Amino acid sequence: MRELKSKYDILKQQIYIIIYGSNTFAGRLFDLILLGVILLSVLLVMLESVEQLDAKYHSFIIISEWIITIFFTIEYFLRIISNKKPLNYIFSFYGIVDFISILPMYLSFIIPGSRMLSVIRALRLLRLFGILNLVHFTGQESQLKLAIKASRTKIIVFVYFVLIVSILLGAIMYVVEGKESGFTSIPVSIYWCIVTLTTVGYGDIAPVTTLGQIIASCIMIMGYGIIAVPTGIVTAEFASAKKNQINNSKKRICPSCTSIVYNEESKFCHLCGQKLSND
């Protein structure tokens, strides 16, 4: 009995290494297969929405989706079983995503059409970062994340400001252009204003009157200057983060004249000639 328990523990550990780890060959292979299956499942949901394809291959797509869902369900339970702290996994970001990924298919028995929601599986593709050891690009201390974090408040203040400007300009354009030009209501005008300020410019709604075109020109030129602000904020943060990273990784202090030595190759202080230790 105890031997069985022990065997089961070993099995659990082996499964853990394969599923969660990516250092062993089996673990790496599992990761790659998983990624392939996720990609396939996202593709299947996408193709199902194309009418001609769905008409032709409906049963094939449905069967494939069920196979994948069962595969994901097994994987989900294996992840819970093999983990020593299953609750940590269940309530982690990936745990929730994994759960939501398999839910829609089972829900489709009760609520027809909810199968479409399984496109949320696309979020599972973020696992690639873990597989490719790209964690240092997205991890807590990464330059990218730090720069985005540092500029977040400024960006929110900026977006709030843009929204207020959009409401005012939207209302003005509604009054100026009127319902004939497509500015049927203030919310639609605000939508148009955001489309213009962000330089997207669909053209589904466009000013027709001369005054409207003059105001629109001003909005566009404003948008020109405005687009520079978030870029400026993010760039300054990136440059600053980059500099800190470089400086911090290198700097030592000379024991004799207490000046700072930035060059990591230095063996002597550049100001007083004192010999430096290299640790």
Among positions 182-201, residues that touch its own copies (CB under 8 A) are: 184-188, 190-191, 194-196, 198-201
Exposure string over 174-198, b if 16+ CB within 10 A, otherwise e: bebbeeebebeebebbbbbbbbbbe
Task: End-to-end CA distance of the chain: give it in Å, rounded.
Answer: 55
- 197 vs 273: CA distance, rounded Å: 58
Please state the closest distance from residue 273 (CB atom) to its own copies, in A.
4
Q: Which pair of structure tokens corresponds to residue 266?
A: 């230095």
Please state the closest distance from residue 11 (CB atom) to its own copies, in A.
34
Listed residue (107, 94, 78) closest to 14, CA to CA: 78
Window 240-279: residues binding its own copies (CB under 8 A): 240-243, 246, 257-273, 275-276, 278
Select the residue interacting with its own copies from 19, 42, 68, 102 (CB under 8 A): 42
Q: Where are the beta strands (DSSP E) in the chain?
A: 252-253, 260-261
Window 49-108: residues binding its own copies (CB under 8 A): 49-51
Which x/- pattern, by CB under 8 A, does the window 221-240 give for its own copies? x-xxx-xxxxxxxxxxxxxx
Closer Cβ to its own copies, 14 or 259, answer by number: 259
Select the residue interacting with its own copies from 19, 102, 105, 147 (CB under 8 A): 147
Closer Cβ to its own copies, 8 or 262, answer by number: 262
Residue 45 found at the interface with its own copies (CB under 8 A): yes
